[in-house]
Chains A and B, each alone.
Chain A
Amino acid sequence: EVQLVESGGGSVQPGGSLRLSCAASGFTFSNYGMNWVRQAPGKGLEWVSYIDSSSSTLYYTDSVKGRFTISRDNAKNSLYLQMNSLRAEDTAVYYCARSPRAATGTSFDYWGQGALVTVSS
């Protein structure tokens, strides 16, 4: 069974940092691209970042470029999101999500349960 479990969420002051982790199991992690998607309270989905299976291709949404860094450790079956210079508007539930190999386009076939990040003074 595919499982994605996020951790590392919490409360932080504006300008602070947090590192989210996503532990993957039930599939060959090193074969899949992975993503972070967030959802602000009461709002819609917002894609944040993508990393391919070998960490050679990275994408970010404009609002986090230069502040967030996506990475992965295939030996540990783990995905990470280092978030620096956090702002109030980064407050959201952060989901890690897998990109399916069967798809030609970009989609997300498995999602974690989410980790809440709250940025407030």
Chain B
Amino acid sequence: QSVLTQPPSVSAAPGQKVTISCSGSSSNIGNNYVSWYRQLPGTAPKLLIYDNNKRPSGIPDRFSGSRSGTSATLGITGLQTGDEADYYCGAWDSSLSALGFGGGTKLTVL
């Protein structure tokens, strides 16, 4: 059972926008920073967003992150077929003294 809760799947058409939610509690998202990762099949995860809404160098501004209360959201605009992947959120949990991930969301670009 994951510390953070994500929808198992989302879908949208090419060119459209999609959002992926990540729900937690005051011990994780509510008081710690959120990061987001994309994992293509058979490859290692890649950092998309850190500290709630910052993009690492090389990540296009099609990707955005936000946090409100004990929830966080990843937004992807201008969807491409290459965006089909599993997406994970993560946040430190102060009660567990451990990093928690969401269960992952599979994005399908129809």
Residues of A within 8 A of B (CB): 35, 37, 44-47, 50, 59-62, 95, 100, 102-109, 111-114
B23 at the interface (CB under 8 A from A): no
Q: Are B35 and A106 in contact (CB under 8 A)?
A: yes
**Bound Cα distance A62, B51 (Å):** 25
Say whether B98 faces chain A, with CB atoms less than 8 Å apart.
yes
Contact in complex: B44, A113 (CB < 8 Å): yes
Closest to B50 in A: A107
Mark B residues whose CB is within 8 Å of A.
2, 32-35, 37, 39, 44-47, 50-52, 54, 56, 86, 88, 90-92, 96-104
Which A residues are CB-close (under 8 A) to B97? Answer: 59
Q: Are B44 and A50 in contact (CB under 8 A)?
A: no
Q: How far is the CA of A99 from the CA of B28 in the complex (A)?
A: 18
Is the Cβ of B45 less than 8 Å from the Cβ of A45?
Answer: yes
Residue of B nearest to A113 (CB): B44
Q: Is the CB of A109 within 8 A of B91?
A: no
Q: Is the CB of A106 within 8 A of B104?
A: no
Known: A44-B2, A105-B34, A106-B91. A62 touches B99 (CB 8 A): no
CA distance A105 to B101 in the complex (A): 14
